[in-house]
A and B are shown apart, each in its own frame.
Chain A
């Protein structure tokens, strides 16, 4: 096995670790840990670890990687909403591993979130991170697979639904360019006649029992923003149907992140 294979293997291992499904995510314990806390960054001899304290315990959230990582680190200067499940994996950087974990940077600045811990030998990573702290070794961390071949327009379905996920209380950000591009390309390919957008407002049920709803009109704002962005990208000929719903009452403390979404349905024109 050459160095490239070793790196590739460790990348896949970590990718699996970051995105593994429900069967794994609840691990030996599996209890949900949903809380809002200041993130903590700990340096290592390689990439930093991101941690957070809750109820007297330290939790590991993620490591620094690159923009292709399915879990992106939080920000000092802001609190973070952590929605995760306790896994049975060995601690990383001193923290209990939450897996899977969803992180939402809270919008309001909080200067008290400023803890940076120095590297300590005992907290060095026991695996090779998919992306070193400097230049990569020629590939992005998680975006290795080439995009699937585009089907011919005739093979495209007459309508297609795109789910746009959001962080808590968030609108469109850096991580939405891809799904918006997918919507745009499909709509163009099928000469879309109608685009229906439903924006949802969700909530997060925290481990202390508190339900934290998103901003009151966020469903509307999400839907209207998506319509504006698609029109701004020259997708002006389809008719737009824009609605919104409040599903904040559906928060159970498990997979609440899935409620925070918008759904875009693109319907093809007749002349294809």
Chain B
């Protein structure tokens, strides 16, 4: 059986299993269906329940440009930003749609729902990035262009080493085409809690605090932006992102009108998502519960403030759940044990030190290499765990030697899914301080926008909310579960977490 046949079989089997599982998603939001979005809704997921708060609700989605198929391929914004999936999209939902529609859902549009538009439609092998890892193709011009269209002279050259999707070497879509393009594969980010992702507070200024370069400017206000919206910070604002997404993902015939943009961004500013219950720990949003949890606390929180301190905390839990009173019955005992695990996981996140080494834009910004710190050092924004400053870093999710690669040997037929690029910093340009002059990467990340050697493989860190609803994780979907995510960090930084610490951390992350 080939890898592709295995994939297809796995997809079919998982669909059968999921359909029978308790809490299976039945809440797919199709473009143009016109269902009102209530003020507050909950959606089941494997770990419990997600809450979606719509602060200006109920919202009539009929005719709303976020929910209507305003492009030419039948998609709407909501196609890839499903309320049940934390306004992102889980690979589980993707597989369910494949099974339910035989791959005909607009979600699987050739433009980016296939590994490359030149592949045969309807064949799961053509959509393996999406079906296996929840990845959409992001096609970026090479060399990079400024927002005004001017070309950037990049500090490096780039070659395609491996191209399993076939797009980067394709004569029409690839690097050597008449419109040289690099295709990378990335997860959609949650369109929720956006007052945090677009904040104008601590760390936002005209020059980027991590490298001194000019910040991206909001074209409407002229103000610098936090550049934390997208994985490569290419869109400065929600409006710019919406326009770009409409053109590339929805394949609109023209540009969106000002009225459409206003309605889309207004909606994006009023939606908050977070886990509200866990199967083991029960409700996370009881009246006297920890103030970190649930979308209502997110809506009420201060945006863009530093929480890597013991006065505000990144995720304020209080100490109550660390030592709960003796329970009176078995169910309560189990619930309390789960809550104590979450609280311990928080303390691992906040206080467990380890050596952070060779991570660009963390070790290079005045802390030293290595620096003895904690998770909260980088994931320091109050309530979201993002970076307050411009948040792209290289932790090795896409750069070798740390990126997840298929072990090639005579005893396996498994072959790499991700493309591989060789980046060479040009003569006269300083080598990358931690990776040298030649870098192998599955996705150059921010460097495809900035053209800077030091940005190769840097990815804007994402918010931690609603994680249980939107696996897999990392921009390239390389961690299928939260446990795999924790294991990645453990390997990458030689942390040496105990099994208990790992379990606690996973439970904590799953409660956010």
Would B363 and A75 count as touching, CB distance under 8 A?
yes
Q: A135-B309, A174-B364 are in contact. Are A64 and B212 (CB under 8 A)?
A: no
Q: A173-B211, A174-B366 are in contact. Are A108 and B206 (CB under 8 A)?
A: no
Chain B nearest CB from A14 CB (Å) reads 16
Q: Name which residue of chain A comes closest to B373, CB basis.
A: A133
Q: Categorize the interface residue count of chain A.
A: 35 or more
Residue A48 CB within 8 A of the other chain: yes
Binds A, one of B59-67, B134-142, B428-436: B428-436
* Residue from A73, A173, A180 within 8 A of B367 (CB atoms): A73
Residue A104 CB within 8 A of the other chain: no
Residue A6 CB within 8 A of the other chain: no
> Within 8 Å CB of B215, what residues of A?
233
Chain B nearest CB from A27 CB (Å) reads 25
Residue A190 CB within 8 A of the other chain: no
Chain A nearest CB from B30 CB (Å) reads 43
Residue B312 CB within 8 A of the other chain: yes
Q: A137-B310, A138-B312, A229-B207 are in contact. Are A109 and B436 (CB under 8 A)?
A: yes
Give B346-373 as 1s and 0s: 1 = Cβ < 8 Å from A's Cβ atoms.
0000110101011000011111111111
Q: Quick one: which of B206-263 are within 8 Å of A by CB?
A: 206-215, 217, 222
Expressed in whole angstroms, the Cα–Cα distance for A172 and B374 within the complex equals 28
- Given A75-B369, A138-B312, A233-B215, 15 other A-B contacts at CB below 8 A? A41-B370, A72-B366, A73-B368, A73-B369, A76-B357, A109-B436, A134-B353, A135-B308, A173-B364, A174-B212, A176-B207, A181-B206, A184-B207, A229-B213, A233-B207
Residue A43 CB within 8 A of the other chain: yes
Residue B301 CB within 8 A of the other chain: no
Expressed in whole angstroms, the Cα–Cα distance for A233 and B355 within the complex equals 35
Q: Quick one: which of B313-352 are within 8 Å of A by CB?
A: 313, 350-351
> Within 8 Å CB of A107, what residues of B?
430-431, 433
Expressed in whole angstroms, the Cα–Cα distance for A13 and B498 within the complex equals 38
Residue A22 CB within 8 A of the other chain: no
Give B419-449 as 1s and 0s: 1 = Cβ < 8 Å from A's Cβ atoms.
0000000000011011010000000000000
Residue A124 CB within 8 A of the other chain: no
Residue A136 CB within 8 A of the other chain: yes
* Chain B residues touching A, majority SS: loop
Would A76 and B366 count as touching, CB distance under 8 A?
no
Expressed in whole angstroms, the Cα–Cα distance for A139 and B202 within the complex equals 13
Residue B311 CB within 8 A of the other chain: yes
Residue B122 CB within 8 A of the other chain: no
Give B371-409 as 1s and 0s: 1 = Cβ < 8 Å from A's Cβ atoms.
111101100000000000000000000000000000000
Would B367 and A109 count as touching, CB distance under 8 A?
no
> Within 8 Å CB of A69, what residues of B?
366
Residue A265 CB within 8 A of the other chain: no
Residue A77 CB within 8 A of the other chain: yes
* Residue from A47, A50, A67, A77 within 8 A of B365 (CB atoms): A67
Q: A77-B358, A229-B207 are in contact. Are A136 and B367 (CB under 8 A)?
A: no
Expressed in whole angstroms, the Cα–Cα distance for A149 and B160 within the complex equals 53
> Within 8 Å CB of B311, what residues of A?
137-138
Chain B nearest CB from A134 CB (Å) reads 5
Expressed in whole angstroms, the Cα–Cα distance for A48 and B367 within the complex equals 11
Q: A134-B353, A135-B310, A184-B206 are in contact. Are A172 and B366 (CB under 8 A)?
A: no
Would A172 and B368 count as touching, CB distance under 8 A?
no
Would B214 and A74 count as touching, CB distance under 8 A?
no
Residue B291 CB within 8 A of the other chain: no
Would B367 and A176 count as touching, CB distance under 8 A?
no
* Residue from A134, A137, A232 within 8 A of B351 (CB atoms): A134
Would A229 and B368 count as touching, CB distance under 8 A?
no
Chain B nearest CB from A215 CB (Å) reads 10
- What are 11 residue pairs bridging A and B, where the CB atoms are less than 8 Å apart in the complex? A41-B370, A73-B368, A75-B369, A76-B369, A134-B350, A135-B309, A138-B312, A174-B209, A180-B206, A233-B215, A234-B217
Chain A nearest CB from B126 CB (Å) reads 41
Would A135 and B212 count as touching, CB distance under 8 A?
no
Would B350 and A135 count as touching, CB distance under 8 A?
yes
Chain B nearest CB from A264 CB (Å) reads 13
Residue A66 CB within 8 A of the other chain: yes
Identify which of B207, B311, B351, B372 gathers the most chain A CB atoms within 10 Å of its CB: B207
